[in-house]
Structure 1
Amino acid sequence: MILNRILLSASLVVVALIFQVTVLARLQLPGAVPDLLLLVVLGLALVYGHTAGALVGFAAGLLADIAPPADHAVGRYALVLCVIGYAAGLTKPENGQHRSATVPMLVVASAAISSTLLYAGVGALVGDTAARQVGLTGLLITATIYDLLLAPFTVPLIMALARRSERDPLGDGAGAGGGSASGGDRTYGWLTSGAELGGGSGGLFGGRRGKNGAGIGSQRGTLLGRSARNKAGKIKGVKRL
């Protein structure tokens, strides 16, 4: 199961990063750029939980930090996505599935705003004032709108793939084997109950002994007794003659 998570997460992160750099970044949309990598992290965190969400977010952010044309400090976006992935994973319900799309969409909107603020805040700490020059308010609005428009086409698909990776074929086989094993236990239990009945009230064959009251040995004794009496009757009849 862990291997399935790693393979799926790595594949989705790499595909999302390539598509974001080669397609979305070149659309020249006003304001922010649609963050497909953020949506992948959110979709995986909503299914895998907060720990896996933090790890996937850190790996995805670090890959985005070193992928061209990145022009910011390495580790900046890794920190942002790590925090976002952890927070999104905390919303995972106990049964592992959200009953409606309301919570995932709220998570996407909150993550779009929080990631922009965190990215700008970390940039301010390291001396990057690009967010102030572009306009933080415009980035927040456009980032939220773009991510919300892109989320219905990506997040449900990512969550479905993540849930499918959680299904372990070996575990299902073991479950089937467990069912046969339980069937075998029931069979052995039936035989054991028969043996117990045999020890107590006669069992499978002892039931016949219980019905006759004395068993096979007593039946033989009864037959022998009857034949002996018949023979005795015949002898007495002969003496009378």
Structure 2
Amino acid sequence: MVIKRVLLCAVLVLLALVVQVSVLGRLQLPGATPDLLLLVVVGLGLVFGPTGGCLTGFAAGLLADLAPPSDHAIGRYALVLCVMGYVAGMARAEPGRQRSVLVPLVVVAGAAIVSTVLYAAVGALVGDTAARHVGLPGLVVSALLYDLLLAPFVVPAVMLLARRVDSATRGAEVTGPGLGTIARYRTTREASASAPSGRKARGLKS
């Protein structure tokens, strides 16, 4: 059943990466670029938890690092999205409990700010000073604005798909071999109880 989660994450990440590179990256908006990959990772982390969010974030970031026209060190964005996915997973609601619709927006806002600062900090460590020339405050504000504008359209849809896969997985686990064994056991017990004993069937008296 883990395969369904992996397939969903792979499809969403690839789709987000294509849109990120071919559409959002070419808009030439002032400041930062809207981060669709970050929104997908946050949405998946809010459903699949810290481990799922961390692994998905690392894979998504690594693909972004390798995809053209990437011009930064490989692993830089993977580290950022890995951390963001883990942190988003920490905000996952317990099974059967619903949280406020504002929680995803708060998580997106925090992720937009922290990811921008962390990306610039990692870049400074490897000698990339682009954020210093552009202006880190401007990048943070624009990233926050763009991601919050996209979040209501992206994050709920991602969470809905992830929850459907997660509920289907849980349902398959509940109705799996365990309940089948119990059902067969009950059928055998009922058949044994309704059938006459061996001595009575042969007309023997005790």
State the match for 2:183 in structure 1.
Answer: 181
CA contact (8 A) 1:47 1:97 kept: no
Task: Write the distance in 1 (CA, Å) between the matches of 2:106 and 2:76.
Answer: 24
Residues 110-155 of structure 1: CA deviation (Å, up to 9, x unaligned): 0000000000000111111100111111111110111011011010
Letter in 2 for 1:115: S
Instruction: Identify if the C-alpha distance between structure 1 residues 190 and 99 changes in structure 2 by more than 3 Å, giving closer, same or farther.
Output: farther
Shift of 1:93: 2.2
State the match for 1:60 in structure 2.
Answer: 60
State the match for 2:201 in structure 1.
Answer: none
RMSD of the TM alignment (CA)? 2.8
Residues 24-76 of structure 1: CA deviation (Å, up to 9, x unaligned): 11111111110000001001111001011111101100000010111100000
Larger radius of gyration: 1
CA contact (8 A) 2:20 2:35 kept: yes
Task: Write the distance in 1 (CA, Å) between the matches of 2:96 and 2:113.
Answer: 25
Q: TM-score, normalised by structure 2?
A: 0.86
CA contact (8 A) 1:40 1:155 kept: yes
Letter in 1 for 2:189: Y
Q: Which structure 2 residue ranges, 5 or more long, are not aligned?
A: 197-204
Q: Which structure 1 residue ranges, 5 or more long, are not aligned?
A: 196-216, 218-241
State the match for 1:141 in structure 2.
Answer: 141
CA contact (8 A) 1:92 1:98 kept: no
State the match for 2:132 in structure 1.
Answer: 132
Task: Write the distance in 1 (CA, Å) between the matches of 2:128 and 2:59.
Answer: 22
Shift of 1:189: 5.5
Q: How many residues align?
A: 200
Instruction: Identify if the C-alpha distance between structure 1 residues 30 and 80 changes in structure 2 by more than 3 Å, giving closer, same or farther.
Output: same
Shift of 1:22: 0.5
Task: Write the distance in 1 (CA, Å) between the matches of 2:128 and 2:187.
Answer: 70
State the match for 1:236 in structure 2.
Answer: none
Task: Write the distance in 2 (CA, Å) between the matches of 1:35 and 1:67.
Answer: 15
Name the SS of the counterpart of 1:49 in structure 2.
helix
Higher relative contact order (CA 8 A, sep 6+): 2
Letter in 2 for 1:181: A
Shift of 1:192: 3.9
CA contact (8 A) 1:34 1:143 kept: yes
CA contact (8 A) 1:112 1:140 kept: yes
